[in-house]
Amino acid sequence: MESKMNLGLGHNSDAAGSVIAKHSEAAYLRERKVVPGGSMRAASWFQPYPPYAARGEGCWVVDIDGRRMLDCANNFFSLIHGHAFGPVLDAVRDVMVKGTAFGMPTESEILLAEALAARNPRMEQTRFCNSGTEAVLAAIKGARGITGRERIAKFEGCYHGAYDWVEVSLDPAPSNWDDENGNPASVRCNAGTPDSVLRETVILPYDDPQRCADILRREGHSLAAVIVDPHASRAGAVAMSKETAAVVQEACRRDGIMLIADEVISFRLSYEGASRLFGLEPDLITTAKIIGGGLPIGAVSGPADRMSVFDHSAGKPKVSMGGTFSANPLSMAAGLVSLEHYSRPVVDRLNGLGERLRGELRKGFAKAGVAATVTGMGSLFRLHLGAGDVTGYRSAFADPETAKRIRRIQLAMLNENVLLTPNCSGSLSTPMTEAEALSIADKLVNVVTSELGDRQGAVG
Ligand X SMILES: Cc1ncc(COP(=O)(O)O)c(C=O)c1O
Q: Establish if 206 lies at the interface with ligand X (CB under 6 A).
A: no
Q: Identify which of residues 228 and 452 has a Cβ nearer to ligand X in the complex.
A: 228
Q: Establish if 161 lies at the interface with ligand X (CB under 6 A).
A: yes
- In the list 143, 152, 212, 264, the residue contacting ligand X (rule: CB under 6 A) is 264
Q: Establish if 132 lies at the interface with ligand X (CB under 6 A).
A: yes
Which residues does 440 contact at the CB level (< 8 Å), separation at least 6?
A: 70, 72, 357, 418, 426
Tell me the sheet residues that pair with 146. Answer: none
Residue among 369, 396, 388, 353 at smallest CA distance from 234: 396
Binding mask 297-336 for ligand X (x = CB under 6 A): -x--------------------------------------
**Coil, helix or strand for 71?**
strand
Q: Establish if 164 lies at the interface with ligand X (CB under 6 A).
A: no
Q: Identify which of residues 76 and 271 has a Cβ nearer to ligand X in the complex.
A: 76
Min separation Cβ 235 and ligand X, Å: 10
Min separation Cβ 203 and ligand X, Å: 16
Min separation Cβ 382 and ligand X, Å: 13
Q: Establish if 425 lies at the interface with ligand X (CB under 6 A).
A: no
- In the list 59, 73, 112, 288, the residue contacting ligand X (rule: CB under 6 A) is 288
* Sign of the torsion angle spanned by Cα atoms 58, 64, 68, 74: negative
For β-strands 298-302 and 125-129, DSSP reports them as antiparallel
Q: Identify which of residues 132 and 378 has a Cβ nearer to ligand X in the complex.
A: 132
Q: Establish if 265 lies at the interface with ligand X (CB under 6 A).
A: yes
Residue among 62, 58, 57 at smallest CA distance from 24: 62
Other C-beta atoms lying within 10 Å of the C-beta of residue 262:
31
As a whole number of angstroms, the distance between CA 350 and CA 77 comes to: 13
Judged by CB under 6 A, the stretch of 104-112, 118-126, 132-140, 355-363 that binds ligand X is: 132-140
Q: Establish if 136 lies at the interface with ligand X (CB under 6 A).
A: yes
Q: Establish if 159 lies at the interface with ligand X (CB under 6 A).
A: yes
Q: Establish if 393 lies at the interface with ligand X (CB under 6 A).
A: no
Residue among 181, 184, 217, 218 at smallest CA distance from 198: 184
Size of the site for ligand X (CB under 6 A): 15
Asked whether 9 and 65 are in contact (CB, 8 A), the reply is yes
Binding mask 60-79 for ligand X (x = CB under 6 A): ----------------x---
Min separation Cβ 136 and ligand X, Å: 5
Site for ligand X in 26-65 (CB under 6 A): none
Q: Establish if 133 lies at the interface with ligand X (CB under 6 A).
A: yes
Judged by CB under 6 A, the stretch of 103-111, 158-166, 182-190, 352-360 that binds ligand X is: 158-166
Residue nearest to ligand X (CB): 132
Binding mask 223-262 for ligand X (x = CB under 6 A): ------x---x----------------------------x
Please give the full DSSP string across 368-411, using - where no structure is assigned: HT-SEEEE--TTEEEEEESSSPP-SHHHHPPPHHHHHHHHHHHH
As a whole number of angstroms, the distance between CA 174 and CA 176 comes to: 5
Q: 172 preceded by cis ω (within 30°)? A: no
Q: Establish if 160 lies at the interface with ligand X (CB under 6 A).
A: yes
Cα 262 from chain centre: 10
Min separation Cβ 153 and ligand X, Å: 16
Give, as one character, the DSSP assignment of residue 283: S
Helix runs in 11-168, H state only: 22-34, 74-77, 86-96, 107-119, 132-147, 164-167
Residues engaged in binding ligand X (CB under 6 A) = 76, 131-133, 136, 159-161, 229, 233, 262, 264-265, 288, 298
